[in-house]
Chain A
């Protein structure tokens, strides 16, 4: 949760945006602001820190440019919505912000926003433009993700024992900053970040966390910022001896699974500036691996399509994968074999094969990728 001073900072930055528009208008100029480019071309890999950082490239968003006018107007609407939030000391979901800013433009049949897919990227634009995290803007995504394991936390004043969370686990909130979530006690040896909720359910039911003394957490696909931020805090704040608490990522054996790992490890290209407080360069990829098919004799595999192959080649070329022999081998193996595997592939052996044999064996044999 942003602190009081931070909130005011954000409000000031938003006000500054409006003032810029006003002064441009007064000078008879085309109002504009520069939006840092959120693409691979403007993402740099900081080899020392091993995270993605954002370059200096920016795009001018002009009001009186036919292709940008609507986005300019939308940016101003979102900014004013965030200013209201900041002034009222409230937070809300990005979906709620979409509804707050959506209306029919006076005298027309046109809407300011036609869907949340229009407002979400504008929120990201605003984050990078005024250099304020979404959380500082008072916005959060829908809660997504659960966690259980040998740990006790304080969540908004409530003390919660994460070994007693039943089948659903503790729902990870969107904002997990220290003023909302505090870590009270943790005895876990590592964190296992699982891509899918359903697979996490199997791990919970089989009490994997108890048998292997670890935290199990999932993000329902691409982990939301709350999950990533929580794992980051746990990794950095909860020491295992003199080391940081290890993080293992268990994802599908497909380009999307690799990409999820990449985001957890180095940060996202989209919001590179957030890597500082999200990326976990030491995170390890524990599966599924393209080599697991032979290792474990999985035979219910899916053929790669052309898009998969293209995507794999792109991932292989990412600077943070480019220099890594293991990863190049891994990706090459996947392209050569022409197949992908979901985590559920392991169920061809037995429902609990993944918790009882697959993962314990990989942990024991240290079959992970870094």
Chain B
């Protein structure tokens, strides 16, 4: 990548020669490239820089905890400071300012000698080279955040790490040498005890980055990111302290660490020609047959032979399973590549995917939103470009969600919320292409649905095709959009059943109100005409009214079937927030929270008397 030289700006033109140009041509360190192009990593403005920093640190912490089988507890804190590093308790939020962003986890820690590499070098880590479902993918994130902090404030990144309760803790101060993409260690201490405020930390990692940023609340904010993270990760506990001192505690609702995903080999269908050439060059396998079988998934000896046979037909040369991998030229490699595409190969294994799961999505939504109807649906795994992936949908409807607004969309990739570039994302496109009017909602012509609705969409994959390195939107592959659409339809149908049924109940309620009004009159008339115990007659008629409008009392389940529920005995399976409301229906993919359900608008005084029918019961 050429950089403009200062001499170019001179008016007098001096023609360059290959030799004169060569004097300036040199390798560009990856860190230097990203320092100049920081927008590619999500540091394009102070507000986003703050969010991206939090996001990278949180993603790393959650990944680390899960890999170690630890239930994550995260302390996320943003502290406003002045140029001397002194804490500013009531910051002016409208301007950018200097902040210390710190994220501490209870994870496995990092061994001492790897700390400078993990936080002080770009593109260093275990994630890039493996096809494995994880939050981080490339290993750019947290070191890029540290670099951004260094560039804007000159302050190094501070890291604490402790690998076990018995181990000693380490504290590092790191800067990045962008020219060399190497950590520059400015402090390295070993501590007998690591305390964070009042707390003595037994184990974990903490990273603190000082940076220029801007803190704002609302859409695409740190708040929204952490809230959505808490929804998609109900097994995580997050304690979040904002610069104004406000503390939010996202509680843990699930006591199991998600299964650790398996690593897989690439599927032959997803491999491009250039990659195949590189793989042939780098492989430890000497012969083509074993290469195909060992370096790819789903290639049996039989499939390998089929590929070789097809490649032979294409090249008219003689390739065999015994051909040396080191001898492959371009034409032969192309023949193998083409043969792969013509061979029927079983889809990649999908046990490498760990979906969040219906129950967990419901629990996550339930603990952070106050809706009345929830449903979730996990699709079977599918494949794009040889990469297995799985789509999960969650829907929350009604309750306290705003009625007159566009539906809120929560997009996730491998449990990480995506907050930017919704319009570029395959998920948004699928939502807009779905006809929500079929499901009892309003929707402007090919727009987002409107109403008290949250749509949760999660894509789990060993390789999520983001549209950019800043990981903000999922590329619009047909296979992905189709899976999202099918999932939305399934949830939509359940929502529709609920909405229709609710309308029916509302009508029944109105019917009951009508009867309720007239019972008193009828009783009085009967009392005038004949001697009768008016109280008794009233109760009898009220009882008939109850049974005639029984539907109004019915508690909903998935398919319009009745569920008899004793309101005094909450369902033991109820995953309600802090024990409140919420009932799991029989198919376990629907939860209805009656307590949050809004009563239909009543325009007469009679319906303000809910006692009446209780007395009669």
Contact = CB atoms under 8 A, between A and B. Distances in A.
Contacts of B606: 105, 107-108
Interface stretch (B67-75, B165-173, B434-442, B544-552): B544-552
A77 B537 CA distance: 16
Chain A contact residues, majority secondary structure = helix
B521 interface: yes
Contacts of B544: 25, 28-31, 64
B222 to A, nearest CB: 51
Interface in A21-55: 21-22, 25-26, 28-31
A63 B540 contact: no
Interface stretch (A66-74, A192-200, A235-243, A313-321): A66-74
Given A25-B541, A108-B605, A77 B529 contact: no
Interface stretch (B344-352, B356-364, B465-473, B512-520): B512-520
A72 B529 contact: no
A73 B547 CA distance: 19
Contacts of B541: 25, 31, 63
B522 A108 contact: no
Interface in B525-576: 525-526, 528-530, 532, 537, 540-541, 543-545, 547-549
Contact of B530 (A22, A66, A105, A110): A22
A66 B233 CA distance: 49
B543 A107 contact: no
B604 A30 contact: no
B511 interface: yes
A335 interface: no
B609 interface: yes
A341 B545 CA distance: 55
A295 interface: no
A18 B537 CA distance: 11
A21 B605 CA distance: 26
B515 to A, nearest CB: 6
A39 to B, nearest CB: 26
Contacts of B528: 80, 83-84
Contacts of A174: none
Contacts of A56: none
Given A64-B545, A64-B548, A108-B517, A76 B605 contact: no
Nearest to A83: B529
A17 to B, nearest CB: 7
Contacts of A26: 540
A366 interface: no
Interface residues of A, number: 33
B521 A25 contact: no
A368 to B, nearest CB: 49
Contact of A64 (B515, B526, B604): B515
Given A69-B514, A73-B518, A106-B520, A18 B609 contact: no
Contacts of B522: 21, 31, 63, 72-73, 76
Contacts of A361: none
Contacts of B521: 73, 76-77, 105, 112
A21 B521 CA distance: 13
Most buried by A among B515, B525, B544: B525
A242 B409 CA distance: 96
Interface string B210-235: 00000000000000000000000000
Most buried by B among A21, A22, A25, A73: A25
Given A77-B525, A107-B609, A22 B537 contact: yes
B147 to A, nearest CB: 71
B511 A66 contact: yes
A15 interface: yes
Contacts of A83: 528-529
A26 B528 CA distance: 18
A19 interface: yes
A69 B605 contact: no
A69 B543 CA distance: 16
Contacts of A29: 544
B605 to A, nearest CB: 5
A18 B520 CA distance: 14
B604 A80 contact: no
A325 interface: no
Contacts of A69: 514-515, 518
A72 B544 CA distance: 15
A79 interface: yes
A79 B545 CA distance: 22
Contacts of B515: 63-64, 69
A4 interface: no
B345 to A, nearest CB: 63
Contacts of B605: 107-109
A216 interface: no
A249 interface: no
Contacts of B517: 105, 107-108, 110
Interface string B165-183: 0000000000000000000
Given A30-B548, A79-B529, A25 B609 contact: no
A80 to B, nearest CB: 4
A73 B522 CA distance: 6
Contact of A105 (B518, B525, B532, B540): B518
Contact of A18 (B514, B530, B545, B548): B530
A110 B525 contact: no
A14 interface: yes
A101 B569 CA distance: 47
Contacts of B540: 25-26, 28
Nearest to A24: B544
B614 to A, nearest CB: 16
Interface string A133-152: 00000000000000000000
Contacts of B549: 64
B545 A105 contact: no
B536 to A, nearest CB: 9
Minimum-distance CB pairs A-B, first 9:
A18-B529, A76-B525, A80-B525, A80-B528, A73-B518, A25-B540, A64-B548, A18-B526, A18-B530
22 contacts: A18-B532, A25-B537, A28-B547, A64-B544, A64-B545, A66-B511, A66-B514, A70-B518, A73-B521, A77-B525, A79-B525, A79-B529, A80-B525, A105-B520, A105-B606, A107-B605, A107-B609, A108-B517, A108-B605, A109-B604, A110-B604, A112-B521
Interface of A: 14-15, 17-19, 21-22, 25-26, 28-31, 63-64, 66, 69-70, 72-73, 76-77, 79-80, 83-84, 105-110, 112
Given A15-B529, A69-B514, A73-B522, 4 more contacts: A18-B526, A22-B530, A22-B537, A63-B518
